[in-house]
């Protein structure tokens, strides 16, 4: 069962515009607590209970197979949700026919279980 939004990952070919928009227009802070495992930056709400973050992917990490960087709604790379019932969630996705990525454990938090699945469309 989904219990909240963890993060949204987006691609950009224009880092200064994205950084300015999310930092100065929407007021998100650059989150320096996150490890740099990809080209880009993380943004987080300034409120203490603001858990959801925006990952902005830049450079090669923002490119799709043909080397281009998608824009508009195509720039969304993935959404990550908090959920309860890891095994039940995996089973429901498998029953629905979703192919699952084998990366079940988080590389930065070994107590965190993850399920990677593609949207059906």
Residues 75-85 have pLDDT tens digits of: 887 777 777 77
CB 56 within 8 A of CB 19: yes
Decide if pLDDT at 50 tops 70: no
Sequence-ordered list of residues with C-beta below 8 angstroms from that of 14, at least 6 positions apart, any chain: none
DSSP 14-46: -HHHHHHIIIIIS-PEE-TTS---SSEEEEE-S
19 vs 47 pLDDT, higher one: 19
Please tell me the pTM assigned to this model.
0.66
Decide if pLDDT at 53 tops 60: yes
Topology (CATH) of 2-81? Immunoglobulin-like (2.60.40)
Exposure pattern of 82-92 as b/e (b: 16+ CB <10 Å)? ebeeeeebbee
Decide if pLDDT at 35 tops 80: no
Residue 80 dihedral angles phi and psi, to the nearest 5°: -125, 130
| Measured CA angle at 112 (ends 94, 32), to 5 deg | 125
CB 6 within 8 A of CB 52: yes
Q: Report residue 57's pLDDT band, with 50, 70 and 90 as the boundaries.
A: confident
55 vs 120 pLDDT, higher one: 55
pLDDT reported for residue 51:
66
User: pLDDT averaged over the chain?
Assistant: 76
31 vs 64 pLDDT, higher one: 64
What are the residue ranges spanned by the domains of the chain? Answer: 2-81, 85-121
């Amino acid at each position: 069962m989904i219990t909240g939004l963890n993060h949204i990952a987006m691609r950009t070919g224009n880092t200064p515009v994205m950084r300015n928009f999310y930092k100065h227009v929407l007021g998100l802070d650059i989150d320096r607590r996150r490890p740099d495992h990809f080209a880009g930056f993380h943004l987080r709400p300034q409120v203490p209970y603001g858990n959801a973050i925006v990952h902005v992917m830049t450079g090669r990490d923002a490119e799709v197979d043909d080397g281009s960087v998608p824009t508009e709604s195509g720039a969304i790379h993935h959404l990550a949700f908090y959920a309860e019932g890891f095994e039940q969630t995996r089973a429901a996705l498998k029953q629905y026919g979703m192919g699952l990525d084998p990366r079940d454990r988080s590389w930065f938090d070994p107590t965190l279980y993850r399920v990677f699945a593609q949207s059906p469309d």
